[in-house]
Structure 1
Amino acid sequence: MFSPEDQQIEICLLKSNLEEIENGLIVQHSALPALEVENELKYRETMTALRVVRSLNSQIEQLKQESVRLTAKRMQLKRQCEDISRELERARTNRNDLENLLKQEEHDTEQEMYVLCLI
């Protein structure tokens, strides 16, 4: 067994250790409200950032859909332009054919009139 002096020293050491532990707990406990405030602030900042990101993602998705819609419209207009270009080329060809036929008809008419005048 320990002598009374050893027991007294042991008690003093244990008491000192308990006081150190108590002081540590007091420091931690006093820091908790500040940490809670900081955590709440960080939580609010995170939630705000998350809302902003969700909003931006929604806008990006809308822009992607609009891009798809515009691409489809562009392709439709391109096909229409190609159809119109083909029709225009066909009309030009028809006009040229008609002009040539008209010139030929005028020439034939002039030839007939010349022949009739000679008779």
Structure 2
Amino acid sequence: MLVACNESGPLPEIVTASLKESHEETLIGLVSHLEDVTISGIEPVAGDRSRVSVRYELVFDMDFSRAIRVLADPGSVSGGERERFRDHLGIIGTVELTGLTSLYGEFEKGQRFNVVREIDFVKIKGKWVGQP
């Protein structure tokens, strides 16, 4: 993720947009969305590095049982759902989704979790790049 910057680090509104964008590119992003993203701090780590502390609510749009059905038995769902989850169908996606239960249990649609995390950014050619 590439973001705009100021002297002290990446701009908060760009960090938020980048966080949401990177979330949407993952399996968990297919079953949830982010709300109430706030930046709680930007700490310079080195001249070209910053650590951004973020808080947000992770809100599930689909329950675990539906998601596992889509991944494990794609023939039982609509073509639109198969297309949406195409990169995660089969055993790999099933294992990845099952791994999410260690963090969120067998989540339900509408269930919310407060998340606090840090994202490292490095400045490359004048642009801040978020590190996974």
Rg comparison, structure with higher value: 1
Compute the TM-score of the two structures, normalised by the length of structure 1.
Answer: 0.20
| Higher RCO (C-alpha under 8 Å, 6+ residues apart) | 2
Structure with a larger share of its residues in helix: 1
